[in-house]
Amino acid sequence: MTNSHRRLAFDLTVWAVSLCAGIVLIAHEAMADGHRYRADNARWKAECGSCHLAYPPQLLPAPAWRSIMAGLDKHFGTDASLDPAAAAEIGTFLQNNAGSSRRVGAQSLRITETAWFRHEHDEVPGAAWQRPSIKSAANCAACHRTAEEGDFRERNIRIPR
């Protein structure tokens, strides 16, 4: 190799390495972003956040939200009925921001029973879910300290004792 060839090979290597690093960085950002949910609606936050966390609409597919909104009078053992105007507005908000069935396909109406949820939490020890400080897997904010802001990123997780 002549000097100029060597120089060219070096430049190409530097360029290729930077390109790869760039792609990895972008992919990582996109993934990290996948666990911050930004959709917001004041009525949804107030009504669906009064008994538990207002669960991000992205975590269930549209058909599941439709069923939940159709059965609010018998909502997981409680009555969570809404007046028709609020129900219509919240229902539209949930469906417009719902997750895709492929990603968060639901066999039940519980986020906590989806294959997606089980997979994300397969490293949580089984007994942790029953701790008095947690009570239920549906109590996201017990461990996800920034869940109220739609932020489920790993860096903000602490499993309470």
Q: Which residues bind ligand HEC (CB under 6 A)?
A: 35, 47-48, 50-52, 55, 59, 68, 72, 75-76, 78, 80, 90, 110-112, 120-121, 123-124, 128-129, 134, 136-140, 142-144, 152-154, 157, 159
Based on its alpha-carbon atoms, the radius of gyration of the chain, rounded to whole angstroms, reads 22
CB of 14 to ligand HEC, least distance (A): 32
Instruction: From residue 134, give the alpha-carbon distance in Å to each of 51, 121, 126, 129, 138.
Output: 15, 14, 12, 6, 9
The least CB distance from residue 61 to ligand HEC, in Å, is: 12
Closest to ligand HEC by CB, 5 or 158: 158
Phi then psi for residue 133, to 5 deg, are -75, -10
Provide, rounded to whole angstroms, the least separation between the CB of residue 23 and ligand HEC.
20
What is the smallest separation between the CB atom of 10 and ligand HEC, expressed in angstroms?
38
Residues 6+ apart with CB under 8 A from 62: 94, 95, 98, 101
Read out DSSP for 111-138?
A: GGGSHHHHHHTTTS-GGGGGSTTT--TT
Instruction: Residue 75: name the closest of 98, 101, 52 by CA.
Output: 52
Sign, CA dihedral 77-75-78-127, equals: positive
Toward ligand HEC, which CB reaches closer, 62 or 75?
A: 75
Cβ of residue 99: shortest distance to ligand HEC, in angstroms? 11
Q: For ligand HEC, which is the closer residue by CB, 39 or 75?
A: 75
Residue with smaller CB distance to ligand HEC, 2 or 154: 154
Of residues 18 and 130, the one with the C-beta less far from ligand HEC:
130
